[in-house]
A and B are shown apart, each in its own frame.
Chain A
């Protein structure tokens, strides 16, 4: 039981570090994929909405506190993205993984929600300007995250 809880937490801590140290090196014009989000989405897909959402909430807190950013913005964004991913959960996890269309749709939509809410909540101004630019940024970031996730997914495909 302890191992079942501690391994995902340890893995998440490693991914927080990778996200903040290594991933900025592959940023394209300020757009980066989010590896922590990819892991949380698959975690939610495997364990369901309730477990996935609670787990994402705590990891969001760790991410916010470690990055030096606003505490709460990552918590909100990771929680909502993981909740959406939980909708795609099925009893047979491998069966879900084999459906590539579902995987693409899941990552695209959830990561769009993540990037949009994270950007909006990170804005200190009460009134949000440039709505379209936030929308575009979230679309591109979601695309990059999906491509990144798919490259790992295809690499692991043979093992499924």
Chain B
């Protein structure tokens, strides 16, 4: 009996090993949101980024004048987009929004040190971290529009989840028809899902971050509407967006140092305490 079992084991041991390793991988995959796994990842990407940054600096030369112009360009992009939005609104809303336009954007320039290019995991590591005042959930953009969001931060480096990541979901507004929805990457395209088919949406409409988002500031350009696909029932449709930023080819980005409104915080705290 023992010999028989031994024989079977020697035949299938490779498959048992494969099965065990695959199960361990899947268990670890399901634990990705656990604090312990996040700590391991933070330590690993932090260590890796140190020498990835060294390699990058060897191949790229820094130009301070160019960086300053890029910052200026990104600031102007944000302002232009705000002004474009205001032009579509009535005078009463304009006077209300004028209060917000006075706020200044603080941009933290940063460079991408490594890219994980895949169909569903668009993740970059950038060389700015806690020491540069970068915090989790801050938006990342360039002079054309939104690139992604900071998901993890160490002292000197941060992980950026880009628009091309399936875990990235943001509240978006299609400006002309004032239609709100959630924009996400479906592995192929950036889409705003579950929009009523009757909504007034045309090709070429601009899509920006929504005022409903408590994470991202409003009016950061995301992209243009390039198509609309109805689902089987015909009641809801998916709006396809072409992002303004060519996320795969960028090298330098900015982290928008936004501070979450203390008023929103206090309102959320009041709701929680009830």
Contacts and interface: CB of A to CB of B under 8 A. Distances in A.
A130 B238 CA distance: 14
Interface string A110-142: 000001001111111100111001100100000
Contacts of A72: 25-32
Interface in B1-44: 13-14, 17-18, 21-22, 24-32, 37, 40-41, 44
A12 interface: no
The interface centre, meaning the residue of B41, B56, B116 with most chain A CB atoms within 10 A of its CB, is B116
B52 interface: yes
B25 A76 contact: yes
A85 to B, nearest CB: 12
Interface in A60-79: 60, 62, 64-73, 75-76, 79
B15 to A, nearest CB: 9
Interface stretch (B119-127, B198-206, B262-270): B119-127
A71 B115 contact: no
Choose among B17, B113, B120 the residue with the greatest number of A CB atoms under 10 Å from its CB.
B120
Contacts of A66: 44-45, 48, 114
Given A20-B114, A65-B44, A123 B32 contact: no
Contact of B167 (A67, A86, A119, A124): A124
Contacts of B32: 70-72
Interface in B192-249: 248
Nearest to B160: A68
Contacts of A137: 119
A75 B28 contact: yes
- Judged by DSSP, the binding face of A is helix
A130 B187 contact: yes
B26 A76 contact: yes
B251 to A, nearest CB: 10
Contact of A57 (B25, B115, B248): B25
A76 B18 contact: no
B41 A65 contact: yes
B143 interface: no
Interface in B34-84: 37, 40-41, 44-45, 48, 51-52, 55-56
Given A17-B48, A76-B25, A133-B187, A122 B248 contact: no
A80 B188 CA distance: 24
Given A17-B51, A67-B123, A129-B187, A83 B18 contact: yes
Contacts of B187: 119, 123, 128-130, 133-134
Given A32-B117, A119-B119, A122-B121, A17 B52 contact: yes
Max count, chain B CB within 10 A of own CB: residue among A70, A80, A120, A130: A70
Contacts of B51: 17
Contacts of B13: 50
Contacts of B30: 72
Contact of A68 (B14, B152, B186): B152
Contact of B248 (A30, A80, A124, A134): A30
A79 B25 contact: yes
B156 interface: no
A57 B32 CA distance: 17
A27 interface: yes
B118 A69 contact: yes
B166 A68 contact: no
Nearest to A86: B14
A54 interface: yes
Contacts of B24: 57, 75
List the 7 shortest-distance A-B pairs measured between CB atoms, nearest first. Answer: A72-B29, A65-B44, A122-B120, A67-B116, A20-B114, A68-B159, A66-B48
Given A20-B52, A71-B41, 11 more contacts: A20-B114, A21-B114, A50-B14, A66-B114, A68-B116, A70-B121, A72-B27, A75-B28, A122-B121, A128-B187, A133-B188
7 contacts: A17-B51, A53-B21, A67-B125, A68-B45, A79-B18, A130-B187, A137-B119
